[in-house]
Amino acid sequence: MTMAENYRLVMDVNKALRKALPIRLGINKRNELTRLLYEICISRNISPEKVLAEMPFSASGDEKGGIFQRVKRDLVKTRYPELQKKDRVRLMPLKIDGESNESAVWRGELEPRRIIVEKRSAGLEWTRGFLKMFPGAEVLETDNIHRASKELRLRDRIDGYALRRETIFIVSGKASFIKKCPCTKGAVRCGYWVLNLGFGCPFDCSYCYLQTYSNIPGLVFAANIEEYCGHIRKFDASQARQVRIGTGEFTDSLALDKYTGYSSKLISVFRETKNLILELKTKTADIDNVLKERAHPGVVISWSINTPGIVEKYEKGTAGVYRRIEAAALAASRGYKVGFHFDPVVWYEGWEKEYQDIVRRLFSHDKVRENTVWISLGTLRYTPGLKQAAEQRFSDNRIFYEGGFFLDFDGKFRYPEKLRKEMYDKLLRYIKEAGVSCWTYLCMEPGGVSSGLEGLEKPAWPAS
Ligand code: SF4
C-alpha cells in the first residue's frame, strides 16, 4: 500500500465506525477503535465494513461503557486472539495524516547540503580531510551544535529524521568514550561494551529506535579519532579480562566508513590491545576498508541477518541479505572472525521456513561456519511511539500488525513470552543443524526466556 492508500483506509475506518456505532464517541475512544480496526484491516487484508459485519457486538450485553466497551472488546479479541488476562496492550492514536515523511532511499552516496563544525573540531586533521570530500556543501562553524540544529527550524523530530542525510555535524566526542552497553532494565546482560564515534545512520529500518530517539537533525561524526584511540589503549591497560566492544549502538559501524575511515584506525589500534575485542556490526556489504587491513583475532566483523523479504521491505537502503552473506564469506576467507545477529526476528506466516533457509545458506560457507565466534538472537521489540513514527515514515508496516505485541518488563512491546521462546527454540535448532558451534546468546531478554532453551550457553561472553 502507498501512504495515500493508508490515509484513505484511515478515512474508511472512521466512516465505517460512525455508521456501525450510532453514538458520539470522545476522541480517545474513537482513536482506540480506529487503531484496532485499521490494524485488523491491514493484517487480514479485509475492508472495515467486513470486519464490523463479522463482529458479534450488537448482541445483548450489559457491560459498563455500553456499546463502546463491547465493540472494543470484540476488536481487541480479533486483533489479539492470543491475549491472556495478564497481557497489556496500548492503543496509541494513528498519526497518519496523508503527508509522506518517507526519506529517499539511501543509495550509498553522502551528499550533504551543509556541514556544521563544532569550533574545537575545526582544526583537526580528520575534519580537514572530511570537508575536502564535499566541496559543494555549505560549511558553518558553531560552538553549540544543539543551538545550531534548532536554527535549522525543522517542523518536528520526524521531519528532522527524514532529512538527516542533508546535514552533517562534526564534533569532538568527549563523554564516556567506552561504556557498558545500556541493554534494557531487567534483561540478562551479555557483557558488551560500546564505543560511540558518532550518532545517526543513513539506512531506514522501519523498526529502528533512532527514529524517536534522535534529537539532532543530522548525522554526527566525531573528529577526535586520535583521542579515542588514546582512550582505547588506556582502557585496555585497565582491564584484566577480555572485553567485547562495538561501535554500532547509535549507527551502523561500516555504512559510512568510506567517508569516515574509522574502521582502519580502530582495527590498527585493537590489533595492538591485549584484552579488547572490537566488533564492527553492519548491514552493508561494502567492506573494502576492512579488507585492506590485516585480520586479527581481536577484530570481529558482524552482520545483522534477516530473511530476504524482511530486508527488502523493512531495512531500506541496506545491502540485500545475500550480499551481506557474500561479504561475510569474503571477510572469513581473509581470516576475519565473524559474528551474526538475527535481530529482529519477525513473526509472520511462514517465518520458520524462511529463517531456516537463510541460516542454511549463511552457514553453507565452510569459512563462515569455521570463523563464526558469536550469534545473537532477538525478536522484534519496540518502544512506545516507535510504531507511530514508522507509520508516518513508511507505507508498509505489516510487521507491527501481524503478531500480537504486549507491554513487557522494560516498557517495550514484544511478542508474548511463550511465542518468543518457541521462536528462539526453532532458530537454535536451525543453527545447530547448520553445523555451527559458537557462543550464542539472547539480546535484551530476561532470564526466564532463555531458561530451558538448548543451544544457549551462559549469558556472558565466555572470556569474561
Ligand atoms: S544483550 Fe544486547 S542490549 Fe544487552 S548488553 Fe548485550 S548487546 Fe547490549
Residue whose CA lies nearest to ligand 1 atom number 2: 443
Percent of the chain topping pLDDT 70: 95
User: Could you report the per-residue pLDDT of 30-39, keeping only the tens digit for each?
Assistant: 999 999 999 9
Whether the per-residue pLDDT at 173 is higher than 50: the answer is yes
Residue to mutate (ligand 1; options 180, 184, 185, 189; most atoms within 8 A of CB): 189
Q: How confident is the model at residue 59 (pLDDT cuts 50, 70, 90)?
A: very low
Only one residue has cell 498519526, namely 95
Closest CA to 353 of 463, 430, 301: 430
Binding pocket residue ranges, ligand 1, CB within 6 Å? 181, 183, 187, 189-190, 192, 443-444
List the single range of 111-115, 148-152, 327-331, 422-426 with lowest mean pLDDT: 148-152
Whether the per-residue pLDDT at 459 is higher than 60: the answer is yes
Residues near 374 by Cβ (< 8 Å), separated by ≥ 6? 300, 302, 339, 340, 438, 439, 440, 441, 461
Q: How confident is the model at residue 23 (pLDDT cuts 50, 70, 90)?
A: confident
User: Could you report the per-residue pLDDT of 214-227, keeping only the tens digit for each?
Assistant: 778 899 999 999 99
Whether the per-residue pLDDT at 209 is higher than 60: the answer is yes
The stretch 262-274 carries a mean pLDDT of: 97
Mind listing the domains of the chain with CATH numbers?
3-79 (no CATH), 175-380+415-450 (3.80.30.30)
Q: How many angstroms is it from 452 CA to the middle of ligand 1?
A: 20
Residue 318: CB atoms within 10 A of its CB come to 26
Q: How confident is the model at residue 155 (pLDDT cuts 50, 70, 90)?
A: low
Which amino acid, one-letter code, is at 194?
V
Decide: 196 and 247 in contact? Cβ < 8 Å.
Answer: yes
Residue to mutate (ligand 1; options 375, 444, 445; most atoms within 8 A of CB): 444
Residue to mutate (ligand 1; options 178, 180, 181; most atoms within 8 A of CB): 181
Q: How confident is the model at residue 194 (pLDDT cuts 50, 70, 90)?
A: very high
Per-residue model confidence (pLDDT) at position 64: 53
User: Could you report the per-residue pLDDT of 228-257, keeping only the tens digit for each?
Assistant: 999 999 999 999 999 999 999 999 999 999
Residue 93: CB atoms within 10 A of its CB come to 13
Decide: 293 and 259 in contact? Cβ < 8 Å.
Answer: no
Per-residue model confidence (pLDDT) at position 102: 76
Q: How many angstroms is it from 190 CA to the middle of ligand 1?
A: 5
Residue whose CA lies nearest to ligand 1 atom number 8: 183
Q: How many angstroms is it from 182 CA to the middle of ligand 1?
A: 7
Q: How many angstroms is it from 274 CA to the middle of ligand 1?
A: 23
Which amino acid, one-letter code, is at 347?
W
Per-residue model confidence (pLDDT) at position 188: 94
Percent of the chain topping pLDDT 90: 83
Q: How confident is the model at residue 180 (pLDDT cuts 50, 70, 90)?
A: very high
Residue whose CA lies nearest to ligand 1 atom number 1: 443
| Residues 194, 244: Cα–Cα separation, whole Å | 8
Q: How many angstroms is it from 252 CA to the middle of ligand 1?
A: 16
Q: How many angstroms is it from 283 CA to the middle of ligand 1?
A: 18
Per-residue model confidence (pLDDT) at position 279: 98
Q: Which residues on neighbouring strands pair with residue 167, listed in sequence order?
A: 114
Residue 227: CB atoms within 10 A of its CB come to 15
Whether the per-residue pLDDT at 334 is higher than 80: the answer is yes
Three-class SS of the chain: CCHHHHHHHHHHHHHHHHHHCCCCCCHHHHHHHHHHHHHHHHHHCCCHHHHHHHCCCCCCCCCCCHHHHHHHHHHHHHHCCCCCCCCCCCCCCCCCCCCCCCCCCCCCCCCCCEEEEEHHHCCCHHHHHHHHCCCCCEEEEECCHHHHHHCCCCCCHHHHHHCHHHEEEEECCCCCCEEECCCCCCCCCCCEEEECCEECCCCEECCCCHHHHCCCCCEEEECCHHHHHHHHHHHHHHCCCCEEEECCCCCCCCCCHHHHCHHHHHHHHHHHCCCEEEEEEECCCCCHHHHHCCCCCCEEEEEECCCHHHHHHHEECCCCHHHHHHHHHHHHHCCCEEEEEEEEECCCCCHHHHHHHHHHHHCCCHHHHHHEEEEEEEECEECCCHHHHHHHHCCCCCHHHHCCCEECCCCCEECCHHHHHHHHHHHHHHHHHCCCCCEEEECCCCHHHHCCCCCCCCCCCCCC
Q: How many angstroms is it from 376 CA to the middle of ligand 1?
A: 9
| Residues 141, 85: Cα–Cα separation, whole Å | 56
Q: How many angstroms is it from 400 CA to the middle of ligand 1?
A: 22
Q: How many angstroms is it from 375 CA to the middle of ligand 1?
A: 12
Residue whose CA lies nearest to ligand 1 atom number 3: 183
Whether the per-residue pLDDT at 330 is higher than 50: the answer is yes
Residue to mutate (ligand 1; options 192, 195, 450; most atoms within 8 A of CB): 192
